[in-house]
Amino acid sequence: MSLTVLIAYAGALFIAAAIPGPGITAIVARALGSNFRETFFMGLGLVLGDMTYLTAVILGLAFVAQTFTEIFLVIKIAGALYLGYIAWKLWTAGLLPQDIAAKKSSSACMSFLSGLLVTLGNPKTMLFYVALVPTLIDLGSIGMREYLMLLAVTFIVLMIVLIPYMMLASRARTMLKQPRALQALNRVAASILAGTAAFIATRAA
């Protein structure tokens, strides 16, 4: 695989990822309503979802998108329900600082899972890998070395897109110290997440 092909893939992926969608919206809302650690794990889940689609295409499983539409429907609904649950938790957070402060509990795994579900249930992501990647890359010439290179490029490009969103939203939260201000921020984040969940559920219908 030539450097030109890798650059073309990275450029196309960057443009597709930078266009705001359910993933970016969920990341921003999570950062506003939580801490950077949980948001980062959610970002890792989003990236793993992209890698899953890339792997499926390389293995010749693009037909899954057409053959197993019910599976994708279940994934979309599960992702929408979990985002709705997070939104509800944020909306009902108490007024005491210890209730509103970002928790360092073991919810990193759930944040990771929610990110994975959002990506796997996003039609835009699925279409990018199933329809566009084969036009950029000769899948027949992909070996283990090329596959690992593509995974590395995918990870780097997506994190370059996601981390600035995480940092800016997390910084906005830390600037608000008053309990009522934090509650208002939580409810803004909850509203954004609820809207994202509704969007995913609508697209799943």
pLDDT tens profile 25-67:
788 777 777 777 888 999 999 999 999 989 888 887 655 555 5
Q: Please state the pTM of the whole predicted model.
A: 0.68
> What's CA 61's distance to the chain center, in Å?
22
Q: What is the greatest pairwise CA distance in the chain?
A: 58
Residue 107 identity: S
Domain that holds residue 113: 3-204
State the burial class of residue 185 (Cβ atoms within 10 Å of its Cβ: 0-12, 13-18, 19+): buried
Domain total in the chain: 1
Written as six digits, the tokens of 126 are 């699925």
100-154: pLDDT as tens digits: 444 444 477 888 888 888 888 777 787 788 777 777 777 777 888 889 999 999 9
Q: Which residues have C-beta within 8 Å of that of residue 124, sequence separation ≥ 6?
A: 16, 19, 21
Of 202, 205, 204, 198, nearest to 75 by C-alpha is 204
